[in-house]
A and B are shown apart, each in its own frame.
Chain A
Amino acid sequence: MTSGLHLELVEQVRKFCIKNIEPTAEKDDGESKFNMDIYRGLGELGVCGIVLPEKYGGAGLGYSELIVVLEEIAKFSASYAVTLSVSTMVQSMIDTYGSEEQKQKYLPELTSGKEIGAFSLSEAGSGSDAASLRTKATLKGEDYILNGSKMWVTSGGVAKTYVVMARSGADGPKGVSSFIVQNGQSGFEFGKLESKMGLKASPTRELIFENCKIPKSNILGSQGLGFNIAMSALDRGRFTIASIATGLAKRSLDEAVKYSLTRKQFNQPIFEFQGLQFMMADMACEITASELLVQKAATNFDAGINDQKIAAMAKLKATDTAMSVTTDAVQIMGGVGYTSEFPLERFMRDAKVLQIVEGTNQIQRVVISRMLKKEYS
């Protein structure tokens, strides 16, 4: 599965992370600080537009390459991995649905990593029930006027380019359109910065639109296509988030095994206790199962097969695994694991959000069962 290209990518990303992310990861988490220089550094490394065509500054590679990069970054910081995952999702939305003009205007600075892209679907009252969103886009002459507010926007405030889902028509999914909005636009303000349990180096923010005037040409795809655009983006977002979960889980197991081989209690390395051996055996098994599902989802996608079921399964399995593996890794390291001296307590806090974003794991189950029903009826 792992090609020479993958190994080379992983090696480069690992070197970058050890030098640039690891030294300040705990501090940045403690201070809830996002460091744009780190993200731009990833851009210079060439990983911020992996799946985009070279024509727009991308690397012209596939999702199979993106997932190995995200997994590697997540071994050091899930925050930067999520930032990159979401920005990539936004790029692919513009690439798939945007006009040539939009692509040329917005993509190069995103693929180069100079700027960040953000995705904005959720609202205070509509999370899992995304189609009930209420932010309004009213057509007035050549412009749309946006009014309302969006919640839980990853990279809100630090991103320059936002793809915002708003209601331009009737109730329900068919009344939703996607708009490209940029930072600095009059009538577009940032609201409250969320104080979260984890993923603290990645800012999550509210977006507020008050009579924000957007030229008609900023609509992505066409009027009424917004919900479909968002859902198809999430199909990709799901297994990329899953690869971040796998990265967290792998590093956690790695730390737990290393620690248990050196930590002695009762005159022997704690690794020798069967209770711990079985825990780690289960962790290794679950991680491998998750990794294979994520790879399957990515290779399918690269082969042009849009398999929602596998994408949802990968997200569900890998993020549930990350939660249990990081929790057990903290347990294996005991008191040390609970402190910020080691990254494991951060990973455990970070893992939890992966069960919630890009569709909660409850929604993944809804998707999987819907597909099952379809297959049998």
Chain B
Amino acid sequence: MWFFSQEEKELQNVCQSFAQKELAPKAAELDNTETFNLEAFKKMGEIGLLGITADPEYGGAGLGATSATIVMEEFGKACASTTLSYLAHSILCVNNIDKNASKEQKQKYLPKLITGEQIGCMGMSEPGYGSDAIGIQTKAKLNGDSYTVNGSKMWITNAQNSDVAYVYTRTGDHKKDLTTFIFDKTMPGYSTGNPIHKMGMKASPTGELIFENAKVPVGNRVGEEGDSVYHMMRNLELERITIAGLSLGIAKACVEQCLRYANERKQFGKSIGEFQLVQKMIAEMTTELEMMRSFLYTTAKSYDEGNVSPARSRVLAAQVKLAIPKMTTKIALDAIQLHGGYGYSREFPVERYMRDNKLNEIGAGTNEVMIMIIAKQLLKDSLQKMS
């Protein structure tokens, strides 16, 4: 983007070459074998990207949403699965600890997470509570100097390979009596379930976190009892902006692949790019890509600069999360169509792009939840203006 700072442009270059070298070459194989790219993950730690938004005091890069989105776009373009695991680690776990935890907790957890020595995840959704996240039922009860936790968390990215989990629980009967804890995988009563087989994002492990009379010390409680709702709300916008960055990367990959193929592939004695139907797809998907990039990076910038009201910031983040994954699914479906039989086969990456991207319309808040957030906020604002 024209308004990227020198630092952001350099970050973009670093991420591009890292992604082309470490992520892209293995993406298809890891998708096939449902294997996590641990090697690349560790290397992300070495080049300092695992704590992109975290405080430099703990090894973080101290950067904002724009930089995190740049990483997501460039990595997402090469291997969406690994990028999703990166998001769960760096944004859902590391960033939340960085923004909400105590100094002691940060000292204990952040350095290892940021170097990549340890992997992190976040536990919010449950089998019965997805979109209705505030309704969660995993219970934590204070017993002396520890809490006893019972319940389970569902659809957790990095569940099985995480050392550290940032988990929301219920500590009271009131709707918002939710409390956050940091779990170590060594804590008694805490385990993970079987891997969940998914349509896409196959190289990113998804699973269940299981708490059976799990013991977590009071010292691992983040903030006070009842702080979770504040914790959740505070970082959701960053999560939504960055996951939209992942879709933007996938869209970019689709477009580049389509442009190449439309020139290469010949039918009826000419390249298929000469047919108007193909031109329509290309014109539309590239136009949508430009729209998405402008929208996403202006939203990320204004989030970093804090130059819009909190309400507008919330709406914008939900809007990019609604628009970009949805448009990208359409682009990816068209990309398969443009490639015909080849697009449907695993010889070309476009079918993987589509399978991977579909998750972004569901994870980190479904399209339907985004619709709810956007409409409710805007209608409320309008009502206030009238009165």
Which A residues have a C-beta under 8 Å from some C-beta of B?
30, 122, 125-129, 132, 151-152, 194-198, 204, 264-267, 270, 273, 275-276, 323, 327, 330-331, 334-335, 337-341, 345, 348-349, 352-353, 355-357, 360-362, 365
Contacts and interface: CB of A to CB of B under 8 A. Distances in A.
Contact of A276 (B341, B347, B368): B368
A129 B198 contact: no
Contacts of B197: 30, 339-340
Contact of B362 (A132, A196, A338): A338
A350 B153 CA distance: 30
A360 B355 contact: no
Contacts of B130: 265, 334-335
Interface in B227-272: 266-269
B326 to A, nearest CB: 9
A266 B368 CA distance: 13
Given A265-B130, A334-B362, A356 B367 contact: no
Interface stretch (B10-18, B139-147, B332-340): B332-340
B160 to A, nearest CB: 15
Contact of A323 (B125, B154, B333, B341): B333
Contacts of A361: 337
A146 B337 CA distance: 31
Given A196-B346, A360-B337, A338 B359 contact: yes
B199 interface: yes
Contact of B345 (A195, A265, A275, A337): A195
24 contacts: A125-B266, A127-B267, A127-B340, A128-B267, A128-B268, A132-B267, A196-B344, A197-B351, A197-B352, A197-B354, A265-B130, A266-B132, A334-B366, A335-B154, A335-B155, A338-B362, A340-B198, A352-B344, A353-B344, A355-B337, A356-B337, A356-B343, A361-B337, A362-B275
Contacts of B351: 196-197, 352
A318 to B, nearest CB: 16
B118 interface: no
B368 A275 contact: yes
Given A265-B129, A355-B337, A197 B198 contact: no
B345 A194 contact: yes
Contacts of A270: 131
Contacts of B132: 265-267
A260 to B, nearest CB: 11
B277 A128 contact: no
In this complex, the member of A30, A265, A270, A357 whose beta carbon has the largest number of chain B beta carbons within 10 angstroms is A265
A348 B131 contact: no
B337 A335 contact: no
Nearest to B341: A152
B155 to A, nearest CB: 5
Interface of B: 32, 125, 128-132, 135, 154-155, 196-200, 266-269, 275, 277-278, 329, 333, 336-337, 340-341, 343-347, 351-352, 354-355, 358-359, 361-363, 366-368, 371-372
A349 B199 contact: yes
Contact of A122 (B200, B341, B354): B341
A349 B355 contact: yes
Contacts of B358: 327, 330, 338, 345, 348
Given A270-B131, A327-B333, A349-B199, 9 more contacts: A127-B267, A195-B32, A266-B131, A276-B368, A330-B358, A331-B361, A331-B368, A348-B199, A361-B337
Contacts of B368: 273, 275-276, 331
- What are the 6 closest A-B residue pairs judged by CB atoms, nearest first? A197-B351, A345-B199, A129-B267, A265-B132, A195-B346, A340-B197
B329 A327 contact: yes
A111 B267 CA distance: 36
Nearest to B281: A362
A260 B382 CA distance: 31
Contact of A151 (B32, B267, B341, B355): B341
Given A334-B131, A338-B199, A356 B154 contact: no
Given A122-B341, A195-B346, A275-B371, A352 B198 contact: no
B243 to A, nearest CB: 14
A363 to B, nearest CB: 10
A136 B205 CA distance: 48
B65 to A, nearest CB: 25
Contact of A362 (B196, B337, B341, B361): B337
Contact of A198 (B129, B344, B359): B344
B198 to A, nearest CB: 5
Contacts of A151: 341
B251 to A, nearest CB: 16
A122 B199 CA distance: 28
Contacts of A132: 267-269
In this complex, the member of B125, B336, B341, B363 whose beta carbon has the largest number of chain A beta carbons within 10 angstroms is B341
Contacts of A266: 131-132, 135
A257 to B, nearest CB: 16
Nearest to B267: A129
A323 B330 CA distance: 11
Contacts of B32: 195
A129 B341 contact: no
A323 B337 CA distance: 12
Given A330-B358, A338-B359, A127 B341 contact: yes
Contact of B196 (A194, A267, A331, A339): A339
Contacts of B199: 330, 338-340, 345, 348-349
A78 B291 CA distance: 37
Contacts of A323: 333
Contacts of B341: 122, 127, 151-152, 356-357
A266 to B, nearest CB: 5
A323 B266 CA distance: 26
A30 B197 CA distance: 9
A122 B269 CA distance: 16
Contact of B363 (A125, A198, A335): A335
